[in-house]
A = this chain, B = another copy of it.
Amino acid sequence: MNTLNDPQTPFAVVDRARTDRNIARLRAHLHASGVPLRLHVKTSKSLDVAARVFPGGPGPVTVSTLAEAGYFADGGYTDVLYAVGIDPHKLPRVLALRRRGVDLAVLLDSVAQADAVAKASADAGDPVPALIEIDCDGHRGGIGADDPILPEIGRRLADGGAELRGVLAHAGESYFADTPAARREAARHERDTVVRAAGHLRRAGLPCPVVSVGSTPTAHAEADLAGVTEVRAGNYVFFDLVMAGIGVCDVDDLALSVVVTVIGHRPDRGWILTDGGWTATSRDRGTATQRIDQGYGLVTTLDGRVLPDLIMSGASQEHGTLALRPGSTGVLPELPVGTRVRILPNHACATAAQHRRYHVIGGGAAAGAPVVEAHWARHDGW
């Protein structure tokens, strides 16, 4: 029976009980709203994690790469949205996945992309479903809900041989919404913006069956989703310090961590050195701009108890530096060479991306090092 003392460090750990609790929480919230979830799989990239979200069998998923689409197709997932603006070069691969029986939809926000999708659809005799990306907060891509180009894009899709499937918004700025009121406002604005865009398409005589919203902060924030047909969220299965920092979850909801081993000490500098550098945690410093800067992550004991004020303050390729957070009046804990600790990450998506699989522990209280119950696969690349 392996425990977290056995695999060679560094390695990624998923706490199954916390994952299940996070999944149940959003499930209950969305049940109240009556809108189904389209799980974003880019955080875990794991069929094993997705199976916990969809215990009854494959459900609708969002992917961030066509590699994810292929991997989830292999796992029986046939309702897939590729939610990064389509590069026309990728359309042959989209069509190939569709020929495998995957209802794979793409995303776009320009006439150029709409024409490319329409042409590829017409050439293949397969109307590729496309969502039009609507910008609700200036975060990244998308067009304004009231932009007159919206019906034009819709028409080019519908008339050119593609399938106009609907509209999508992502409230990316909600990652900085650090009060419940701010997140509710972001969720309502995301909803209202995309519903308004859908209205414009319908008034232009165009179909708009799908009205898609989502981000982990907004998905948990508002129950009234009138006019919305699906909610996308992915980070919430693991959560992370950025989400805890804005109050979407608590630190003890964090289901992903990285086990590292102490390999040295610099008492003159207040440092404890580990064998977990940025290859293990990623270079993500998402909490640097939050009220509490967690460095590269919070440190816990191997069984998950947070070590007060101890953070991973620095990272080289294969070295981590642990130190008390600036201003702490605490005492550096005694952690001899060979001691294993866990790092709770700033950004679960980025930290998970550094690993090829997850070591799964049951979670909950138990004496000694947690037992590794299973290994869950992870699929990356493009």
A110 at the interface (CB under 8 A from B): yes
Contact A90 B337 (CB under 8 A): no
Contacts of A273 in B (CB 8 A): 85, 140-141
CB neighbors of B among A268-285 (8 A) = 269, 273, 275, 278-280, 282-285
Contact B318 A84 (CB under 8 A): yes
Q: Chain B's nearest CB lies how many Å from the CB of A226?
A: 29
Given contacts A85-B275, A283-B282, A381-B356, contact A319 B140 (CB under 8 A): yes
Q: Chain B's nearest CB lies how many Å from the CB of A91?
A: 11
Q: Which stretch of A7-15, A193-201, A245-253 is in the interface?
A: A7-15
A166 at the interface (CB under 8 A from B): no
Q: Which of B11, B110, B350, B381 contacts A278 (CB 8 A)?
A: B350
Given contacts A87-B263, A141-B264, A283-B285, contact A112 B269 (CB under 8 A): no
A209 at the interface (CB under 8 A from B): no
Contact B318 A65 (CB under 8 A): yes
Contacts of A381 in B (CB 8 A): 356
Contact A266 B141 (CB under 8 A): yes
Contacts of A321 in B (CB 8 A): 140
Once the chains are docked, how many angstroms separate the CA of A110 from the CA of B263?
9
Contacts of A88 in B (CB 8 A): 337-338
| A221-237 contact mask (Cβ, 8 Å, vs B): 1 or 0 | 00000000000000000
Once the chains are docked, how many angstroms separate the CA of A283 from the CA of B296?
12
Once the chains are docked, how many angstroms separate the CA of A161 from the CA of B380?
44
Contact B316 A140 (CB under 8 A): yes
Chain A contact residues, CB within 8 Å of chain B? 8-11, 42, 64-66, 84-90, 93, 109-110, 112-113, 116, 138, 140-141, 172, 261, 263-266, 269, 273, 275, 278-280, 282-285, 316-319, 321, 336-338, 349-350, 353, 356, 380-382
Which 6 A-B pairs rank lowest in CB-CB distance, beginning with the nearest? A283-B283, A85-B263, A87-B261, A112-B337, A64-B318, A141-B264
List 13 extra interface pairs beyond A8-B382, A112-B338, A141-B319, CB under 8 A.
A9-B382, A84-B318, A85-B319, A87-B275, A87-B337, A138-B269, A140-B316, A141-B264, A278-B284, A282-B282, A283-B284, A283-B285, A317-B350
